């Protein structure tokens, strides 16, 4: 506890002198003459009860006018979070087992680890194949994000034999258009080329540039596709359009990555995590709480009771 007018505390010293040191007046107060015998015995102190209570009341009054207060430091953390839309390809080619257990499951695992680190950001999810839709709107709820990512399945979109990259990006941009965040990004993960959807990648690229949204593109998988069909391994060439993904990322001031194995996949999302840091400011401020009311109330209570006893319940017995 601190005192704003600390110098007033010295008033307690003359108060002590007046009440406890100065010679008492040559008379005493007592409520009834018949009880004088008590004074001669052990209960003489009761005569001075009123004065003692007045003394305590005045001490509290001095404490009150000295403006006591508590002081503590508080810290407020300002978080300027990033709004992140994950745009994930779940077309049939993502069943390729060049990344184990397949490309989609590998992507889910890496994205899930990434999402767990972004506790101060809002994260949303768009799935696309031949069509696209919002699987999860932007949210701070990390548990919902993790649960949604873990449950992604090829059955989430029926038409999964095509790839609508432009449409997937546009759906994500539609979720970001009302965002008030200073930083908005899209992380696009695909293993194919755009061959479906009414919106071309070029159109979605222009939309992203107008909105100031950075797009990080991740080309998923090696140069070959590997499928296990009824125990028979079939290989094919990758349909990944790296040139398109590079263009999208470059023109939106993002970056393109190639995830041709699980190790690179993890490293890519670690890099994105480092590139897109949430700004956190710790502002420290002081809180002052005045306590004079407590002491003022105590003062009034003690003074009232003390004066009541001293002036009305006692009578003076001259010497």
Do 121 and 265 have their domain in common?
yes
Tokens (6 digits) for 144: 């919902």
Instruction: Select from 280, 256, 263, 281 the least CA-distant residue to 118.
Output: 280
Do 90 and 46 have their domain in common?
no
Do 209 and 230 have their domain in common?
yes
Q: Is the pTM of this model over 0.85?
A: no
Do 146 and 216 have their domain in common?
yes
Residue 25 lies in a domain: no
pLDDT (tens digit per residue) in 281-298:
555 556 778 888 999 999
pLDDT (tens digit per residue) in 15-50:
888 877 664 554 455 455 555 555 544 445 555 787
Do 234 and 300 have their domain in common?
no
Burial of 284 (0-12, 13-18, 19+ CB in 10 A): exposed
Q: Give the per-residue pLDDT at 6.
A: 85
Do 223 and 106 have their domain in common?
yes
Q: Give the per-residue pLDDT at 278.
A: 62
Domain count within the chain:
2
Residue 78 has pLDDT above 60, yes or no: no
What are the residue ranges of helices labelled H in the chain?
A: 12-16, 36-40, 49-65, 103-117, 142-150, 165-176, 201-211, 242-251, 262-275, 292-311
Residue 26 lies in a domain: no
Residue 181 lies in a domain: yes
Residue 29 lies in a domain: no
Q: Give the per-residue pLDDT at 245.
A: 97
Residue 143 lies in a domain: yes
Do 50 and 188 have their domain in common?
no
Do 124 and 55 have their domain in common?
no
Do 48 and 190 have their domain in common?
no
pLDDT (tens digit per residue) in 144-172:
999 999 999 999 998 888 999 999 999 99
> Any idea what the CATH number is for the domain that residue 231 is in?
3.40.50.410
DSSP per-residue string spanning 62-76: HHHHT-EEEEEEEEE
Do 58 and 130 have their domain in common?
no
301: left (phi over 0), alpha (psi -120 to 50) or beta: alpha
Do 177 and 307 have their domain in common?
no
Grade residue 232 by pLDDT with cuts at 50, 70 and 90.
confident
Grade residue 97 by pLDDT with cuts at 50, 70 and 90.
very high
Residue 318 lies in a domain: no
Q: What is the residue range of 218's domain? A: 83-276
User: Distance (Å, rounded) from C-alpha 15 to C-alpha 63?
Assistant: 13
Residue 27 lies in a domain: no
- H/E run at residue 18: none
Do 235 and 135 have their domain in common?
yes
Residue 165 lies in a domain: yes
């Amino acid at each position: 506890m601190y005192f704003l007018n600390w110098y007033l505390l010295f008033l307690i010293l003359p108060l002590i002198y007046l009440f406890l040191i100065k010679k008492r007046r040559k008379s005493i107060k007592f409520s009834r003459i018949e009880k004088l015998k008590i004074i001669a015995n052990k209960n003489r102190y009761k005569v001075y009860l009123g004065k003692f209570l007045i003394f305590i009341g005045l001490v509290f009054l001095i404490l009150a006018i000295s403006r006591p207060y508590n002081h503590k430091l508080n810290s407020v953390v300002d978080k300027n979070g990033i709004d992140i839309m994950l745009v994930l390809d779940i077309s049939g080619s993502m069943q390729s087992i060049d990344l184990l257990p397949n490309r989609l499951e590998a992507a889910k695992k890496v994205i899930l680890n990434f999402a767990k680190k972004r506790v101060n950001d809002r994260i949303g999810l768009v799935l696309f194949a031949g069509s696209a839709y919002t699987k999860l709107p932007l949210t701070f709820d990390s548990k919902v994000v993790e649960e949604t990512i873990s449950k992604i399945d090829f059955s989430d979109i029926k038409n999964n034999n095509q790839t609508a990259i432009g449409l997937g990006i546009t759906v994500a941009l539609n979720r970001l258009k009302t965002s008030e965040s200073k930083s908005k990004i899209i992380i696009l993960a695909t293993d194919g080329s755009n061959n479906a959807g009414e919106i071309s990648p070029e159109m979605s690229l222009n939309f992203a540039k107008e909105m100031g949204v950075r797009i990080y593109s991740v080309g998923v998988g090696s140069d070959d596709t590997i499928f296990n069909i009824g125990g028979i391994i079939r290989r094919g060439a990758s349909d990944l359009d790296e040139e398109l993904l590079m263009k999208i990322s470059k023109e939106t001031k993002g970056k393109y990555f190639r995830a041709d194995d699980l190790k690179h996949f993890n490293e890519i999302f670690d890099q994105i995590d480092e590139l897109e840091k949430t700004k956190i400011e710790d502002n420290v401020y002081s809180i002052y709480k005045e306590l004079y009311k407590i002491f003022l109330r105590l003062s009034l209570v003690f003074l009232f009771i003390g004066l009541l006893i001293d002036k009305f319940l006692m009578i003076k017995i001259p010497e």
